[in-house]
Structure 1
Amino acid sequence: MAEQENVKPGADDQQITLIDDKGNEELYQVLFTFDSEDYGKSYVLLYPESASDDEELEIQAFSFTPDANGDASQGDLYPIEDDDEWSMVEEVLNTFLADEDED
């Protein structure tokens, strides 16, 4: 189970630009970041900045190395390739979304 000590909703409007294999850039908004003691990593969940409020969001997840301020927008993003790690990230996301629905 992941420790959710540092779950930080994207209230500070952090944005990250992702570049695909063809060199196309797309701006993403940080949904939230969290740390996992089990995996010894920090994670960031993103959604496209261009998404409208009435459409289903395509959420991207990456591990990252935070900067001195714990920021995800200044460092490198790494793909999550382990199935167990993906399951943990999905569990944290589902908990976050359930908590948001309660508010």
Structure 2
Amino acid sequence: MSEEDKEQQITLVDEHGNEELYNVLFTFDSEDYGKSYMFLYPSDAEDDAEVDIQAYSYVPDADGNADEGQLNEIESDDEWKMAEEVLNTFLGDNDED
């Protein structure tokens, strides 16, 4: 994970207007889908707790920044499967460190 990903935070607003701060776990690009993706987890998550990780596709802003771009929900089952495989590989790689 790059230093940039470690420090990135994004505020998500739910359907009720509540804001919650999330940390960016990591981002990646998929050539198969021609999209960029990011995994987020709540910034207040405890290190030893089970964490709810969320995945989104995103469109970066004009400068290429993910934190100011547009997040989109992943809608297709094939995209979800691909994103889960990437996440599982990432988490497996970190367990070996």
With the shorter chain as reference, the TM-score category is: over 0.9
Shift of 1:68: 4.7
The structure 1 residue matched to 2:28, chosen from 26, 34, 37, is 34
Distance in 2, Cα, partners of 1:8 & 1:88:
22
Distance in 1, Cα, partners of 2:67 & 2:84:
21
1:3 aligns with: none
Q: What percent of counterpart residues are identical?
A: 66
The structure 2 residue matched to 1:22, chosen from 16, 22, 25, is 16
Cα RMSD after superposing both structures: 1.5
1:71 lines up with 2:65 in the alignment? yes
Aligned structure 1 segments of 4 or more residues deviating by more than 4 angstroms: none
2:81 aligns with: 87
Q: Secondary structure of 1:18's match?
A: strand
What code does the residue aligned with 2:20 have?
E
- Contact 1:8–1:34 at 8 Å: present in 2 too? no
What code does the residue aligned with 1:88 have?
M
RCO higher in 1 or 2 (8 Å CA, sep ≥ 6)? 1
Specify whether residues 74 and 94 from structure 1 end up closer, same or farther in structure 2 by C-alpha distance, changes over 3 A only.
Answer: same
Task: Normalising by structure 2, report the TM-score.
Answer: 0.92
1:60 aligns with: 54
1:51 lines up with 2:45 in the alignment? yes
Task: Normalising by structure 1, report the TM-score.
Answer: 0.87
Deviations along 1:7-62, whole A, 9 cap, x unmatched?
Answer: 75722x10000000000000000000000000000001000001011110100100
Structure 1: 5+ residue runs without aligned partners? 1-6
Structure 2: 5+ residue runs without aligned partners? none
